[in-house]
Amino acid sequence: MTTPQEVALLDVRKAAQLFRQLHIPILGIVENMSYLSIPGSEEKVYPFGKGGGQRLSKEFGVPLFGEVPLDAELCRCGDEGKSLFESDSVCAASFLEIVKKLIHSFPTPGGEIKEIIQNTPYTFTIEWRDGNIFHYRFSDLQRRCPCARCESKKEREQAVEVVSITRVGTYGLKFAFTSGCSKGIYPCHLLRQWGEAL
């Protein structure tokens, strides 16, 4: 989430770098306070400049989900405890547009995990929604762990067992290993690639 002016973009770039280092995915950009609508007119006024969100979207290679205007209706609904979506404000329309794009940015159903089956302390199987079934070794995953702790470790344990497997929404899986690592999040698209390669 950014506002259009250059100072805000600087902060968002810093935050984005941090997210990337921590392997937290950035799905898209939302620009807030983008413009001011003049009631009863089509005219838009851009008090904080124009196109900041668009520039970030190009820089990061992720979609611009939408531009939320400055809207007195949003403030009024908040103060009165009413839903913005009962009004036909431009602000409500922009939120709906953002949600639509956000939903479409998630992976397709074929790339989602249907079931996780742990076979032995060392191996497990993922059954994917599109019918693919791939087998994995925990030690292989541990070797590829993207977390900061493991990235800095040259030697990684070989015979690693799993302590727990947790789903991270539809994005991927998080494992806790007997090596002590419990921070690595493995996105579905990588698990698919690795599964196919084995």
Least Cα distance to 67 among 86, 56, 51, 85 occurs for 51
Q: How far is the CB of 163 from Zn ion (least distance, A)?
A: 12
Q: Which window, 14-22, 45-53, 138-146, 165-173, contacts Zn ion (CB under 5 A)?
A: 138-146
What is the rounded distance in angstroms from the CA atom of residue 184 to the CA atom of residue 165?
Answer: 11
For the bound state, the minimum distance from the C-beta of residue 149 to Zn ion, rounded and expressed in Å, comes to 5
Using CA atoms, how far residue 58 sits from 27, 62, 170, in Å, is 13, 7, 25
E strands within 103-193?
113-118, 123-128, 133-137, 162-168, 172-177, 185-187
CB of 136 to Zn ion, least distance (A): 16
Pick from 184, 186, 191, 192: which binds Zn ion (CB under 5 A)?
Answer: 184
For Zn ion, give the closer residue by CB, 19 or 106. 19
Using rule CB under 5 A, residue 173 touches Zn ion:
no
DSSP conformational letter for 177: E
Tell me whether residue 35 or residue 138 sits nearer to Zn ion (CB atom).
138
Contacts to Zn ion from residues 140-169, by CB under 5 A: 145, 147, 150
Q: How far is the CB of 181 from Zn ion (least distance, A)?
A: 3
Q: Is 62 or 147 the residue whose CB approaches Zn ion more closely?
A: 147
Whichever of 68 and 150 has its CB closer to Zn ion, that residue is: 150
Distance CA(151)–CA(109), nearest Å, equals: 31
On whether the CB atoms of residues 4 and 52 are closer than 8 A, the answer is: yes
* Count of residues near Zn ion by CB under 5 A: 5
- 181 lies in the site for Zn ion, by CB under 5 A: yes
DSSP assignment of 37-95: EPTTSS-EE-TT-S-HHHHHHHHHT--EEEEPPB-HHHHHHHHHT--GGGS--HHHHHH
- Residue 56 or 185: the one with the smaller Cβ distance to Zn ion is 185
> What is the closest distance, in whole angstroms, from the C-beta atom of residue 98 to Zn ion in the complex?
33
Binding site for Zn ion (CB under 5 A): 145, 147, 150, 181, 184
